[in-house]
Structures are given as structure tokens and as C-alpha cells.
Structure 1
Amino acid sequence: MKLEFSLAQEPAATVVADINTLIVAGWAGRDVQAIEHHIEELAALGVPRPSTVPLYYRVANNQLTQASHIQALGTESSGEVEVFVFTVDGTMYVSLAADHTDRKLEAYGVAESKQICVKPIATSAWRFDELIEHWDQLVIRSWIEEGGQKVLYQEGTLDSLRLPQELIKGYTGNQHILPAGHGMICGTVGAIGGIRASNTFVMELHDPIKNRSLQHTYHVETLPVVA
């Protein structure tokens, strides 16, 4: 699946990633208590506990999309803002993803729930080496729409999540940079007020040191569940 990204602060510069292997790193927090909180948050929805922490889910690469509109079956799916990393010509880049997931199906199986929904990806990216020194200060956040209002849904600094190099090494066994053709979604922070669905999802990765942000918005069309 080919994804094209504009490079922030580099006018007219783009990079194209041909992703053939998509990995969603789950339970990727550094804080054991925070991980347990998220596990309990999902357990309240009937989601079984993970077998290992972190856990690497494989999702079909055809589920990647940079579209601003997606379709989802039923009314019980929702997004989670996450960092997305990928490598092109030996250079690793950072973008933004939503691990959109069917919450009803999640109670049956997390892997199945992740596979059934497309994964929206932003259309811009930064070079990872520009961020290494202040990675922990980066902020991910998201907003949903409720009652016609834009509501803050998630917000947290990346010091609450494992470093991408650590997650990559955990998946590959010995590398700190993703192989070409691979993309990894790198973990999320808790939902403010609990996990819930919205037809609009706005996500952002903010760099307070360089005063810049990556942002992507997508809208969800609900398809009817028929039998």
C-alpha cells in the first residue's frame, strides 16, 4: 500500500512509503499502572487481557488509508490517536495514525477488531532524527464531536509510551529502525471520560520544542448491520 507524505517545513518535499507489513503495537506504555488502567478500561467493555505486553498485532496493509472519510460497520467503532513510524531509503519518519477499532468485536477478539477497521494515516510526516532529543516532550491528542461540539478526547506526552526503537527491537529482535516496507502504529493514551464512538475524529502530534504539529481529521460513515 503506497502512502505519500509531505515533509513539514520542507516546501514541495514529499516521501512515498510502500507499506507491505503493518504492525499495531498494543499495550505499549512505559508505566505499568497506566497499562493496567487501559486494560481495565477495555475489560469494562468485555475485552480479554493481552497475552504479553507489549503485543504486536498484524493488520492487512490494505487497511491503511489517508482518506478524510471512512466507512465502518455499525455504530460501535472508535479511533485512538497514535504515532506511526516507517522507513524509506534508510531514513525513519514519524507520522500520525488512528487505530480505529470495532469495540463490539473487540470483546470477541482484539486482533479481529483491529483487522475489520481501516487505519487512517495523516498526509504529512517528520524525520525521526529531528525528534530524538526531545521525543518524550511530544504530545499526542485527539478530539471527537459530541452534541455538535468539539471535545478533547485524548491527550498525553510520549514519555508515557515506549520509545519506537524499543518497540521495533521487540518486534524485529535486533533492529532499532524498521525495515523498508514496514509501518508501525506505536501505542496510545487513555480516553478522557471513557472510550466512545464519534462520527468525527481529529488527531494531532504536537512538537512544543519546534512549535509545530501534524494533524489529520477523518469522518466516519456508519454502515447498517443486517442479518
Structure 2
Amino acid sequence: MLSDISLADAPAVELGRTVIENPGQLPVRFRVAYDSAAINPRNEYSLQARITDGDTLLYVNDTVHPVLTRGAPDNSDVQVVSVDPYDRCVAPLPVRIHTDPADRVVFDDAEIRVRLVDVSDPDDRTIVTESRQAGYSGSFPFEIFLPEEGVAISRHRRYELEAEIWISGELRYHIPREEWRTVRPAHCPDTENPLVNDVFPVGLIGDDPA
């Protein structure tokens, strides 16, 4: 939709609209027809977009995309965001664990414990999902998936990613400091965009295990 947004205290004036039925996978190419004679070079115009499922609004742009006048381009991409603060991931949440400094240790029969915690309310830390993988043999980096049924995360919340490696019942690697556990998940992380964090040998930093 092309709109005149010049008047801050008045509703935007619609100049053109296009509706795409069954658009398929995003991104979607679009063209909006409008009357060029209605364009005033002193006014401000923007593109808006929304995605609906029947009468239910799913996505909408939350930023202004100026076009046509005041140095703005004739064309513009429009980025939309979910109106639902939670974006449910239907696939397992991928986590990639590194170590710093680089460690060439090779694990044999280790247990990996990973936990995603919602820390938005300091007085009410909530475990979103967690996983334990026993019998791991290999080296850094490694990946683990949380969980098989998928997980709901929110772009409006704060999270910590906790990770531990246990060998023969002894904690050997962890993330000792709270600020290092902070992660900002994408709406739906995937194998191309996993959650990533580093673990450190216990005692290296001088902190007690968390």
C-alpha cells in the first residue's frame, strides 16, 4: 500500500494498493499502481505491507519505508515483523558450543548439558528448554538441538544460554559469568543461524562453577 503520511495529526491517505493472494514463501515481489499526478513533491509518502490469514493479521511493517519524494527512492523493500510477540519454532533449536581459548581436547563419553533460560524477570528465571546428551565423543565445536518438538521464543524477552560438559561425573567446562551467557535468539534459529556460545575450563577464569 502507498500512503501519504505528511500530516502527523491525521490518518494516512491511501494512494494505491495491491493484494496478492497465496503469495507463497517470503520475500514476495509486488507493484503498487498509483496516479502520479496525485504526488506532491513537498509531501512524504511511504510503503506499507501486511500479511493476513483470513481476518487474522500475522505480519506488518513496524518502520517507515519512504518513497518518491524528499530524496527517497522510487522503489523500496518492505520488512514485516510478526504481530505475535512469540515466534514458535517448529524445528529443534540448534546450539553450537565453542571454547575459548582454543582447546584441542577430544572428549570420550562426556555428558553435555545445555539450558535456555528466560531471564527477563530477575526474580522469576524460567527454563524455556533444556537437553542432556550423554556418551558424547568428539571435540570442539559441537552442536546440540533443543528440543525435538520445537520451542517458543520471543524477541521481547532476554535469555541466557547455559552449557556444561561433565566427564566421569566431574564438571570440566562451563560458562562462569552471567554476562557471558546472554544470547539474543533470532525469531527461529536454524542450522544456518544457530545459538552460539563459548564454554571455559573450570578454574580457568577463577570463578566457582555456576
TM-score with structure 1 length normalisation? 0.29
Larger radius of gyration: 2
Higher helix share: 1
Larger RCO: 1 or 2 (CA < 8 Å, sep 6+) = 1
TM-score with structure 2 length normalisation? 0.31
